[in-house]
Structure formats: structure tokens, C-alpha cells
């Protein structure tokens, strides 16, 4: 395991000090996220529903031309990639097919080649992707773009759900706020500056559910956001434990695929609508569910294409792969970026909510099973591949409670110590757990053709023979 002195120092601090540091860091992020550009854009977006479609199309075409020109002229990767294409002919969205599709592996292998020349890298905010298929990479964001994005998120995501940044809230994501083997409460840390209760998603069980719900009441949380799988696990355990429901104004989930069962559990226990939000660290596409259950694309963030395997555009109702071009990031432009998720344009594109933006349906992508620990905790959406730049892809395969295999497909410059670092990262979150590393030439896909982070054989019997063969061959 790679020694992380910052985390070790954090673990040694008392809870009160940890929370103080969180609030201090939030004050720093306040300037990063919510500065003058944020306030300006938030004001501009107030009447977005009344914007004429022609106004939005003209703005997007202009931004697209700026991004393409910047990419072709200043970004080393695109300077080479666009040599044999007519990039100057790309004047609007309908011309994007003239440009090649960007594979995630190409970006991962050449991160720095996607940075525009002349950019002061120290001025950029760096965000690592969660590595849902083991393919982690760093995304560089200019400061102005960060504030633009969060203004869009506030108005066209949070406000759509009837909540805001200023309201007390709970968050359930992938950060390890306490060691996985520490079974004692509290299972959260409170960021006083933002009135944000950050829950551990690695300690949820029927035994701990009451502690989580009591914390929501104590801190007066009015809404919740985070991984749908984790929030649903809390709702399920609370319902099974007979805990009285806790009413929220809204739950906004993102980061993994929201299933019907997850939504049902969340809405039953929290007595509110569960809104599905789609986005990614790369910030090339954004979509938000409205009160009528339609998932509207947010056009200011990026241009979304839905393509067949042959690269042609899908018709309405036809499921294809999402390919997106970001409109806000000129420091690290991503043009026709293959995200790895699938969706379809809805047959019916009008909505009673008054949102004029396009509607997608059948959104699929990050579908993960839970890892189940010996003490019954359900842990989903393991974002543990951020330390693995040499690992092509990875997957956790669980065959029994408390035991799993870490399947690792080596990439360029891979060494076994890199897989050990990922294993250590997972165990730091999960706690006591038997996790064996197995190097494999390929990571199996589900029968639907998806690559998922976690596979639990008890719920996927159709894949049992495939995995048994892999384990016998490579152990």
C-alpha cells in the first residue's frame, strides 16, 4: 500500500479537529466554487426556461467553434488528430461527425497532451475521475469554468429539485471519512461552514441505520445527495429495522445507475421525490430529472450525441452510446469524448415542467453490485482506482460475504505494487475484508456488455462459470 501521510494524520486527529479542518477547507472551496463568476452566471441563468431555442443554439455553436479552434491550434493531441480532417468546416452541432471520436484510453495515456499550450497549469483545479472501470485520470479545470459549472448546477440541478446550496444537507459519497475497520459512531463528519453532514458510505447496516437517521435529525438536514446505491442501502436498512421515516425535501442521486428498486426505497423512507442527476468529473455532459420524471440534458455544459456502434446518430427511442463535447473547458478541451454510458433520445420531447431542453431516457452505465462485509454492511460504488494510473481496468468480484477477488488488468508500466495500493485503498474504506489480487488479461463484461466495478456472484449466477474459469486459470 502506498503510504498517504495526509490521511494518516487525519485519522489521528479527534473528530472535532477533523470537522474544523473540513470547515476551513470549505471556506477555501467557497472562493473556488462560488466567487464572482458564479454569482454573475447564477444571475444570468435565472430566466433560463424562457430562453428561445435559437438563442441557445447560437450560443452553443459559437462556443463549439471556439473550443474546436483552441483544440486544433493549441492542444498537442488534437493538432495531430485533426491533421487529416476538415475541422474548420465544423460550424455547428450538425458538423461534429467530421471529427474523430475520442477514446477514454487515449485521454488516459496522454493527459498532458490535452492541455492547451500556454496554460498556467498551477492555475488549474485538478480533479481525478472515480475510475468506475478502473480507468482513472486527471481532469484539469480553469477557475472560471469551475464557477460557471457550479452556477449551472445550482440553478439547473439543485433548484429544479426545490433545494439550494444554502440549505442544510447530507452527502453520501466515496470519501473515507473514517477507517473502514472502525465500527464505532459517529459515521459522519459535519462541515459547519456549509451545514453539510458528510456520511460514510462504508458503515451502513441495520445495526447502524438508527445512528445515521438520528444524525439527519440532529443536524436538521433538509435534503440529501450522493451515490444512489449508498442512500438506497441506508433506506433499506432503516425500513427493515423499523425506524420511522425521515422526511426530506428532495434526494438528488448521481454517480451510479438509479434502479427502480433504489428509487422506491429512497422515496419510501425519506418521503420525498428522488431526482436522478447525470454527470461526470470531465464535465462534458450534464442532465437532471424534472418533477415529472423526465431527464433533461443541460445544453450549456456540453453537446451530447447518442451514436450507434458504426458512429451514426441514433433515432429517437434507439439506445446508443453517449459521446459528448464539453463547451466550458478551453484549458483541457474534450471533443467527441466517449464517456462509456448509454441512453436514448426520448420519443416525446415535450414536458409539462416547462423545461425546453432535450430529454434522454434509458440511461445506463455505472451499474454496480454491493460488496457485503461479514458484519452485513452493504458497500457500493467503490471509487478506489484513483491511485492506479498503470492499471488498465479493475473489478471487485465477491464470491462470499467478507471475501472477494480484485481482478486487475495491467496497463503500461504496471507493477504489482500498484495493485497492492488499490487493494489497500479499498480495505482502508471497507475494513476487515479478505481481498485477493488476481491479474487477468481482460475484465469480463456483463451479459448486457457493461463493465462494472463490483460483481457479486450471488446476484449474477449467469456469470458464475465465466469467473470460476478465470480464477482457476490465473490463481
Query: pLDDT truncated to tens, each residue of the chain (475 aa)?
Result: 344 677 788 888 999 999 999 999 999 999 999 999 999 999 999 999 899 989 999 999 999 999 999 999 999 999 999 999 999 999 999 999 999 999 988 888 888 899 999 999 999 999 877 544 444 678 999 999 999 999 999 999 999 999 999 999 999 987 888 887 788 899 999 999 999 999 998 888 899 999 999 999 999 999 999 988 889 889 989 999 999 999 999 999 998 778 788 899 999 999 999 999 999 999 999 999 999 999 999 999 999 999 998 999 999 999 899 999 999 999 999 999 998 888 999 999 999 999 999 999 988 765 566 788 888 787 766 654 544 667 877 889 999 888 999 999 888 888 999 899 888 888 887 888 899 999 998 888 766 555 677 888 887 888 888 898 888 887 7
pLDDT in tens, 122-139: 999 998 775 444 446 789
By CB atoms closer than 10 A (0-12, 13-18, 19+), residue 267 is middle
Establish whether domains 34-74+76-114+133-158+279-364 and 371-474 are of one fold.
Answer: no
Taking a C-beta distance cutoff of 8 angstroms, is the pair 305, 323 a contact?
A: yes
* C-alpha cell of residue 406: 480484485
pLDDT in tens, 434-466: 999 999 988 887 665 556 778 888 878 888 888
Give, in words, the CATH class of 371-474.
alpha beta
Cα distance between residue 451 and residue 153, in whole Å = 28
Determine the pLDDT at residue 369. Answer: 64
Cα distance between residue 326 and residue 139, in whole Å = 12
Determine the pLDDT at residue 34. Answer: 96
Cα distance between residue 378 and residue 376, in whole Å = 6
Q: At what angle do helices 260-270 and 228-240 cross, to 10 degrees?
A: 60
| Domains in the chain: boundaries | 5-30+168-278, 34-74+76-114+133-158+279-364, 371-474
Contacts within 8 Å (CB) and 24+ apart, 115-120: 115/75, 115/140, 115/331, 115/332, 116/70, 116/71, 116/74, 116/75, 116/330, 116/331, 116/332, 116/333, 117/74, 117/75, 117/76, 118/74, 119/331
Cα distance between residue 448 and residue 147, in whole Å = 38
CATH superfamily of 34-74+76-114+133-158+279-364: ANL, N-terminal domain (3.40.50.12780)
DSSP state of 102: B
Q: What is the largest CA-CA distance in the chain?
A: 64
Determine the pLDDT at residue 228. Answer: 87
The alpha helices in 241-331, defined as continuous H runs, are 260-270
Cα distance between residue 196 and residue 219, in whole Å = 9
**CATH assignment of 5-30+168-278?**
3.40.50
Please name which of 75, 67, 123 lies closest in space to residue 96, comparing C-alpha atoms.
Answer: 67
- What Rg do the C-alpha atoms of the chain give, in angstroms? 22
Amino acid at each position: 500500500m502506498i503510504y498517504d501521510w495526509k490521511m494518516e494524520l487525519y485519522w489521528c486527529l479527534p473528530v472535532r479537529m477533523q470537522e474544523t479542518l473540513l470547515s476551513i477547507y470549505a471556506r477555501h472551496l467557497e472562493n473556488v466554487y462560488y466567487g464572482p463568476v458564479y454569482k454573475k452566471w447564477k444571475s444570468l441563468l435565472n430566466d433560463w426556461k424562457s430562453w428561445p431555442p435559437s438563442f441557445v443554439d447560437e450560443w452553443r455553436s459559437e462556443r463549439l467553434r471556439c473550443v474546436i479552434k483552441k483544440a486544433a491550434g493549441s492542444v498537442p493531441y488534437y493538432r495531430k488528430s485533426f491533421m487529416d480532417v476538415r475541422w474548420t468546416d465544423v460550424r455547428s452541432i450538425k458538423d461534429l461527425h467530421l471529427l474523430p471520436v475520442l477514446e477514454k484510453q487515449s485521454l488516459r495515456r496522454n493527459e498532458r497532451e490535452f492541455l492547451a499550450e500556454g496554460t498556467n497549469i498551477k492555475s488549474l483545479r485538478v480533479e481525478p475521475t472515480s475510475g468506475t472501470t478502473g480507468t482513472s485520470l486527471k481532469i484539469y479545470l480553469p477557475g472560471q469554468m469551475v464557477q460557471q459549472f457550479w452556477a449551472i448546477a445550482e440553478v439547473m440541478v439543485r433548484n429544479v429539485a426545490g433545494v439550494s446550496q444554502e440549505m442544510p444537507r447530507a452527502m453520501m459519497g466515496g470519501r473515507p471519512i473514517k477507517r473502514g475497520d472502525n465500527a464505532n459512531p459517529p459515521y459522519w463528519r459535519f462541515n459547519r461552514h456549509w451545514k453539510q453532514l458528510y456520511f460514510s458510505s462504508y458503515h451502513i447496516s441495520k445495526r447502524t441505520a438508527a445512528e445515521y437517521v438520528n444524525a439527519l435529525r440532529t443536524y436538521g438536514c433538509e435534503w440529501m445527495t450522493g451515490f444512489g446505491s449508498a442512500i438506497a442501502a441506508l433506506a433499506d436498512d432503516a425500513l427493515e429495522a423499523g425506524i420511522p421515516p425521515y422526511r426530506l425535501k428532495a434526494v438528488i442521486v448521481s454517480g451510479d445507475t438509479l434502479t427502480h428498486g433504489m428509487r422506491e426505497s429512497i422515496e419510501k423512507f425519506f418521503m420525498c421525490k428522488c431526482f436522478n442527476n447525470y454527470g461526470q468529473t470531465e464535465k462534458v455532459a450534464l442532465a437532471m430529472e424534472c418533477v415529472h420524471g423526465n431527464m433533461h440534458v443541460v445544453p450549456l455544459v456540453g453537446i451530447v450525441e447518442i451514436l450507434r456502434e458504426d458512429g451514426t446518430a441514433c433515432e429517437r427511442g434507439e439506445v446508443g452510446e453517449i459521446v459528448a463535447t464539453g463547451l466550458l473547458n478551453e484549458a483541457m478541451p474534450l471533443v467527441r469524448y466517449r464517456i462509456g454510458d448509454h441512453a436514448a433520445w426520448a420519443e416525446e420531447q415535450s414536458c409539462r415542467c416547462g423545461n425546453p431542453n432535450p430529454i434522454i431516457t434509458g440511461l445506463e452505465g455505472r451499474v454496480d453490485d454491493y460488496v457485503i462485509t461479514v458484519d452485513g454492511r452493504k458497500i457500493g460504488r467503490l471509487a478506489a482506482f484513483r491511485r492506479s494510473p498503470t492499471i488498465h481496468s479493475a473489478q471487485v468480484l465477491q464470491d462470499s460475504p467478507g471475501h472477494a477477488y480484485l481482478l486487475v488488468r495491467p496497463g503500461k508500466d504496471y507493477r504489482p505494487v500498484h495493485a497492492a495500493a488499490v487493494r489497500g485503498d479499498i480495505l482502508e474504506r471497507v475494513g476487515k475484508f479478505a481481498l485477493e489480487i488476481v491479474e487477468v488479461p481482460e475484465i469480463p463484461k456483463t451479459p448486457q456488455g457493461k463493465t462494472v466495478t463490483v460483481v457479486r456472484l450471488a446476484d449474477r449466477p449467469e456469470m458464475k462459470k465465466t469467473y470460476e474459469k478465470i480464477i482457476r486459470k490465473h490463481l
